[in-house]
Structure 1
């Protein structure tokens, strides 16, 4: 219950879905949690505080450099430190699957802005605070799709492939400051958003299940253990790596 005791964690996109699962799990292990999201995360923050941990919701557009910097400064001022950044905010479940030549360019740009620019901007915002203490954990959330080339979602697949290389580059640049950077890559998770997107769920569920060594649906709670491993000192000498959690659909 104390793997994250006295740690301060920022979870982007933590107002709902898998991000909220991350926030609750980190708090349950003793972390104080800041939720950075364009959606209202005050209910999740209140829930965490009711459980005995400090929490803070900061409305943040992760693509906006000024908002990200203000968010990091707010967390630093409130909690006195930033130990972990979970770059979870992303566009996925709201997307409609379609051939690549039918993807609207504005939608492509929006996916790239949130899914790639967002983690870059947020990592840059927290880096000075982490460098000052010679300690930090940055966890970038990718996906199993870059390993498969999942059709019908080229913008999403491309963006999550970029996260793999973003992680490696950041790990090289930040290692000398005691900051570890790793990627968590979930498979198809039955999150709130996926359940609501019936077309996506119906298209992907059967082939994904067939490809898995462990023949069951993946739930948000399946990601808690791997996330805590990467966020805690259990992974202290690990950086630049990608941990795929998908029931054995992808093995690399």
Structure 2
């Protein structure tokens, strides 16, 4: 492999929400780039581990429940123990409900509270648990996975859009707080991506994205991998507090 493909050689990276979809793709890309990887999810991560082993790569797994603060702390500690430290965190785990579904008037309190608890509070708690390890690394990287829905204001998706807007705001605030510790915090804002997690999305929403992109095609998980690797690597050591839309030009930032 060329040195370019090994940009994460020696790095130790925790990726949440890695049982499928974007997280699984990020895990494969990070491992191929030379990182030690721990995949975390409340779902079974065996499929991701099998894909890695089929390529001769190795990763460990931990169970994480973003509804449970104690379980979050335990999972991050276990991941750092398995890798002998932690250099990078990809906050990918989240839930999305009802894309193209209820209006803001019809949205239930239960749905709002659940999305905020997982996507906002959970992301903060994972980041908080990882900070002691990232400080020790002296070059820690946090990649927040937001969504371009928060940039263009996708309708009939109020709770999810609000939660991802909060992730973008947390990215900036967190970058200010931990920059003195040598930690960079950045966000990516992917567009609607074809994967297991978006199979329920109405076809008209997929067409809206595909027709509206400057690069007019469907987006797949591997379209985002390179940006994540860049933000986890030393190539982005002077980049922090930024949001990088990765959506083929559906929205510009």
Q: Structure 2: how far apart are the matches of 1:67 and 1:144?
A: 29
Q: Which moved more, 1:51-60 or 1:116-125?
A: 51-60
Contact 1:189 1:219 (C-alpha < 8 Å) held by counterparts:
yes
Q: Structure 1: how far apart are the matches of 2:70 and 2:162?
A: 26
> Unaligned regions of 5+ residues in structure 2, if any?
none
Partner of 1:74: 78
1:137 maps to 2:141: yes
Partner of 2:47: 43
Please give the residue correspondences for 1:240-251 in structure 2 after superposition, counting only pairs within 5 Å: 240-251=241-252
Please give the residue correspondences for 1:151-170 in structure 2 after superposition, counting only pairs within 5 Å: 151-170=155-174
How far did 1:50 drift?
4.6
TM superposition score normalised by structure 1:
0.94
Partner of 2:106: 102
Contact 1:131 1:179 (C-alpha < 8 Å) held by counterparts:
yes
Q: Which moved more, 1:168-177 or 1:129-138?
A: 129-138
Q: Name the SS of the counterpart of 2:141 in structure 1.
A: strand
Q: Structure 2: how far apart are the matches of 1:7 and 1:148?
A: 34
Contact 1:144 1:250 (C-alpha < 8 Å) held by counterparts:
yes
How far did 1:101 drift?
1.1
How far did 1:45 drift?
2.2
How far did 1:70 drift?
0.9
Q: Name the SS of the counterpart of 1:100 in structure 2.
A: coil
Partner of 2:151: 147
Q: Name the SS of the counterpart of 2:66 in structure 1.
A: coil
Q: Structure 2: how far apart are the matches of 1:70 and 1:175?
A: 25
Q: Structure 2: how far apart are the matches of 1:17 and 1:209?
A: 19
Question: Which of these residues, 186, 193, 196, is aligned with residue 197 of structure 2?
Answer: 193
Q: Which moved more, 1:239-248 or 1:51-60?
A: 51-60
* Alpha-carbon displacement from aligned partner over 1:188-210 (angstroms, at most 9, x marks no partner): 1111221x21xx23131222223
How far did 1:95 drift?
5.4
Poorly superposed stretches of 4+, deviation over 4 Å? 93-96
> Unaligned regions of 5+ residues in structure 1, if any?
none
Q: Which moved more, 1:42-51 or 1:160-169?
A: 42-51
Q: Structure 2: how far apart are the matches of 1:163 and 1:96?
A: 21
Partner of 1:228: 229
How far did 1:168 drift?
0.2
Q: Name the SS of the counterpart of 1:34 in structure 2.
A: strand
Q: Structure 1: how far apart are the matches of 2:12 and 2:98?
A: 30
TM superposition score normalised by structure 2:
0.94
Q: Name the SS of the counterpart of 2:105 in structure 1.
A: helix
Q: Structure 2: how far apart are the matches of 1:129 and 1:211?
A: 41
Q: Which moved more, 1:104-113 or 1:53-62?
A: 53-62
Number of positions where the alignment pairs a residue of Structure 1 with one of Structure 2: 249
Partner of 2:238: 237
1:58 maps to 2:62: yes
Cα 1:47–1:206, aligned 2, differ >3 Å: closer, same or farther? closer
Contact 1:30 1:53 (C-alpha < 8 Å) held by counterparts:
no
How far did 1:47 drift?
3.2
Contact 1:15 1:35 (C-alpha < 8 Å) held by counterparts:
yes
